[in-house]
Structure 1
Amino acid sequence: MPKVTFIGSDDKQTQIEVPVGHSLMEAAIHANINGILGECGGSANCATCHVYVESGNLDALPEVGVVEEEMLDATSSERTEKSRLSCQLFMTEALDGLVVRLPPTQA
């Protein structure tokens, strides 16, 4: 099963297995990753699952959609070129080894 490493704002690293087809947000909430809120349940309406994609097969990431683009402008932590909503990142075998950093705040 593919794995993702979450780096907390305290630099603590947690690697979890994510089933193919599941969003990173779903997996993080299921694994009790501190810092992913997912208040809207994954519908890209709250930006409380904001992450910074640090490394991995970046070419395998899906394009940022229109709704995600708008919500990334509403994140409580600074938006950067690495910003994504983890509810919009669905695991594939090609994303195995992805590393994401959590922002200092989500709300």
Structure 2
Amino acid sequence: MVKVVVTDTAGEERTIEAEEGISLMESIRENDFDDLPALCGGCCSCCTCHVYVETSWAEKMPTMEDDESYLLEDSPHFKGGESRLSCQIEINDTMDGLKVTIAPED
């Protein structure tokens, strides 16, 4: 299991254990974070699983595809270099210690 530090929209920080091979979105939802609705269920067709990846981790994330980029750039909460859709980040062992913050809802 990979440890991920998640900060919710109220500023509460909690460390969760994420299973390798599933998305960050699934891991966050399985750990009862109510402020990550993920309405499309991980299909990269909405922006409701938007997170901010801590700057020191941003370069270590998988490359962003065009669909994800287009959705995020339309969000009023977009932060270049930090914004990601958690459904597009597959957990792997190199992500142990990853820190993310759930973005406010659009």
Q: Decide: shared fold, TM above 0.5.
A: yes
Work out the percentage of aligned pairs sharing the same amino acid.
33
Distance apart, 1:8 and its partner CA: 1.3
Q: Does 1:22 align with 2:7?
A: no
| Partner in structure 1 of residue 33 of structure 2 | 33
Q: Distance in 1 between matches of 2:24 and 2:4?
A: 8
Whole-angstrom CA distance in 1 between matches of 2:16 and 2:56? 15
* CA positional deviation for 1:74: 3.1
User: Compared with structure 1, are the counterparts of its residues 3 and 61 closer, same or farther at alpha carbon in structure 2 (3 Å cutoff)?
Assistant: same
- Separation of aligned partners in 2, 1:78 and 1:87: 17
Superposed displacement of residue 54, structure 1: 1.2
CA distance in 2, matches of 1:56, 1:95: 12
Q: Match for residue 74 of structure 1?
A: 74
- Which whole-Å deviations, capped at 9, do the CAs of 1:19-57 have from their partners, x for residues lacking one? 111101011111111311110010110110000001554
- List aligned pairs for 1:1-107, cutoff 5 A: 1-55=1-55, 57-75=57-75, 77-81=76-80, 82-105=82-105, 107=106
Q: How far did residue 92 of structure 1 move?
A: 0.6
Give the root-mean-square deviation of aligned CA atoms.
1.5
- Counterpart code for 1:14: R
Equivalenced residue count is 105
Name stretches of at least 5 consecutive residues in structure 1 with no aligned partner. none
Contact between 2:77 and 2:104, CA under 8 Å: does it hold in 1? no
Indicate if the aligned counterparts of 1:39 and 1:48 stay in contact, CA closer than 8 A. Answer: yes
TM-score by length of 2: 0.90
> Equivalents in 1 of 2:36, 2:10: separation in Å?
14
| Distance (whole Å) between structure 2 residues aligned to residue 69 and residue 27 of structure 1 | 22
Out of 17-26 and 47-56, give the one that drifted further.
47-56
